[in-house]
Amino acid sequence: MIKRVTIVILFVFALLGLNAVVGRFLNAYYLQILIFMGINIILATSLNLINGYTGQFNLGHAGFMAIGAYASAAFSLFAQPFLQAWFGFIPAPVLTPIFFLLSLVCSVLLALIAGLLIGMPTLRLRGDYLAIATLGFGEIVGVVINNMKVVGGATGLGNIPEYSDFFWVFLFAALTVWVVGKMTRSAKGKSFPAIREDEIAALSLGMSNTRVKVTAFVIGAGFAGLGGGLFAHFMGYLHVNMFGFLRSVEIVVMVVLGGMGNLWGVVIAAALLTGLSEALRPFKEWRMIIYSLLIIITMMVRSNGISLKNWRKASA
Amino acid sequence: MSLLQVKDCGIEFGGLKALHDLNFALKGDELMGLIGPNGAGKTTFFNLLTGVYQPSSGEIIFDKTRLNELKPQQINRLGVARTFQNIRLFPELSVLDNVLCGFYHSIRYSLLDAVLDRGRFRQEEAQLREQAFALLEKFHLQDSAEELAKNLPYGSQRRLEMVRALATHPKLLLLDEPAAGMNSTEKAELIELIQRLHQELKLAVLLIEHDMGVVMKLCPRILVLDYGIPIAEGSPEEIRSNPKVIEAYLGERAPKL
């Protein structure tokens, strides 16, 4: 027990150290790419739990991200000033992280609730139908936010305090990978891939298909909300267009490319694809074509995902 | 007291009676065979017992509980486990993971315990893996524990399906053609295995099988179905000499030339 706590503390300090190094030696542009990588790792890993491990095709992940982003932004913009007046006597270096964490709690909670409400009815659907239903959900979120004057509607929401930095983003990215990894590697968590592989057999072993699917969906949605909250507090400005259908597709591509249900493969794919789309910037109008071609070629050559583990298996 | 009681059980699919007025009882330590020609309703009967279908008439009582309206997962938790005619393993999971899936409803830790890496999680997880290996060893599968289920040879896949079913700690095991696709050595091993299981674990076994050699050797009591209707029930000798069964299923011995 003590040993594990030490490891966690060491990890946090290592991150803090890295944070200082990164902040000093990288310019703002590279730092931004790095942070987007972290956020994408959170999103892709959480979607991996739903799409990859449990095999439930979710095409509305950006919707959950949007809910999380707006929820936490709303907390920071509207609730924080009130709390600030009450707890102003606490020094800012302590208070700010607490506020930030509270705003993230809001984002996770709201995304969890949304996940539960959407998951319960739609997870009865299979395959393509579920994909269409979740796609519809993502669009609805966009329309609703667009018409909510409180959060800026179509003009967007600005002036969000920029709390997210390398430290926070990668701390939560590590947490996401840890949670998904720990769950899916436990005997109980084998129910996720079991449902994906053969639902009838899973039922015959006493697994409740609805329960397993909804669990995966809700946890995945919660982490997407967390990613959204971090994103909001990094950008400082939110607009609905940031969470469109294409954003969902981008996350799906990361999961597929990393290998469905492959923990580290998806983490690597999330980082690589984030970097790749930036690296291709000099090619201007050819950028999206090259990007798409690279994905197509990768899928043709490595249909099980990019990770090394699969590589050995495939060549054996 | 019988473990399983089937009373006037039947099912219709839009006017087609797939099973008709089935009556029988199975004791807690009995090994019974279910035979009959293709389409006689044997697998349909298994699907009724396990909640895949709901009976349209009659009643199924298992261990004092009525199964009629229960879902497959609830019935499994009561202690009915099965294998499938067209093997339904989790192909992309390892052999060990397939077995671990069978432990699902007996696991006491929660996913949160797993995430927090609590002591009770580690302890139980280690126990589960030990139990899984013990089961695999009984079925001579321990050496391929890390292989993917889909890469196992056919006979081993059938045995793995039995292991997985047993992992749910059933009182009644339903085997749907366990010997299908096995060669004669494998069949002999299978007979021995089922007998041993039946004795060691004191569990009731109901098996569908087309291989008469296997059925006659294994089952002291046999039920014969034809067109959804039970036509005979009795010991292997009685069944073998029953004219109805011979006509419907076994066939006449070819006359000597």
d(CA B11, CA B26): 20
A209 interface with B at CB cutoff 8 Å: yes
pLDDT confidence band for B253 (50 / 70 / 90): low
Q: Nearest-CA distance from B195 to chain A in Å? A: 23
The two tokens of residue A193 are 């891939």
Written as one letter, the residue type at A95 is: L
pLDDT tens per residue across span B103-160: 999 999 999 999 998 889 999 999 999 999 999 999 989 999 999 999 999 889 999 9
Q: State chain A's mean pLDDT as an integer.
A: 90
d(CA A212, CA B99): 18
Nearest to A187 among B72, B103, B115 (CB): B103
pLDDT confidence band for B256 (50 / 70 / 90): low
Q: At the fourth CATH level, which superfamily is domain B1-79+170-257?
A: P-loop containing nucleotide triphosphate hydrolases (3.40.50.300)
Q: Do B90 and A4 touch (CB under 8 A)?
A: no
Q: Do A188 and B104 touch (CB under 8 A)?
A: yes
SS3 B114: helix
- Range A228-247 burial, b when 16+ CB lie within 10 A, else e: bbbbbbbbeebbbebbbeeb
Question: What average pLDDT does the segment A159-164 reach?
Answer: 92
pLDDT tens per residue across span A171-190: 999 999 999 999 999 999 99
d(CA A262, CA A254): 11
pLDDT confidence band for A151 (50 / 70 / 90): confident
Question: What residue in B sits closest to A205 (Cα-Cα)?
Answer: B102
Q: Which residue has the higher pLDDT, A168 or B37?
A: A168
For an interface test with A, which of B111, B123, B148, B164 has the most A Cβ atoms less than 10 Å from its Cβ? Answer: B111
Written as one letter, the residue type at B205 is: V
ipTM: 0.89
HSE, side-chain direction, 13 A CA sphere, residue B172:
27
Pairing verdict, β B2-13 and B57-62:
antiparallel
Q: Tell me the CATH number at A173.
A: 1.10.3470
pLDDT recorded at residue B255: 62
Say if pTM beats, i.e. exceeds, 0.95.
Answer: no
Strands, sheet with B172-176, edge to edge from the N-terminal-most edge strand: B80-82, B172-176, B204-208, B31-35, B221-226, B229-234
**Where is average pLDDT lowest: A156-160, A204-208, A287-291, B195-199?**
A287-291
The two tokens of residue A233 are 């507090």
pLDDT confidence band for A314 (50 / 70 / 90): very low
B229: β partners: B226
Report phi then psi at A278, rounded to 5: -80, -40
Provide the number of structural domains found in chain A.
1
Instruction: State yes or no: pLDDT of B254 exceeds 70.
Output: no
Q: Nearest-CA distance from A4 to chain B in Å? A: 9
pLDDT confidence band for A312 (50 / 70 / 90): very low
Question: What average pLDDT does the segment B219-224 reach?
Answer: 92
Q: Do B119 and A1 touch (CB under 8 A)?
A: yes
Share of chain B above pLDDT 70, in %: 97
Written as one letter, the residue type at A193 is: P
Q: Nearest-CA distance from B89 to chain A in Å? A: 7
Are A252 and A62 a contacting pair, CB within 8 Å? no
Task: Please name the residue that has the structure tokens 């099965």.
Answer: B82
How many A/B residue pairs have CB atoms within 8 Å?
103
Nearest to A200 among B88, B110, B165 (CB): B88
Q: Do B81 and A203 touch (CB under 8 A)?
A: no
Task: Give the range of the structural domain holding residue A172, as residue numbers without chain letter.
Answer: 2-315
pLDDT recorded at residue A43: 98
For an interface test with A, which of B50, B67, B83, B115 has the most A Cβ atoms less than 10 Å from its Cβ? Answer: B115
Q: Nearest-CA distance from B101 to chain A in Å? A: 6
d(CA B254, CA B257): 9
Q: Tell me which chain A residues have a C-beta less than 8 angstroms from the C-beta of B158.
A: none
pLDDT confidence band for A52 (50 / 70 / 90): very high
Question: What average pLDDT does the segment A259-267 reach?
Answer: 91
Question: What average pLDDT does the segment A221-237 reach?
Answer: 97
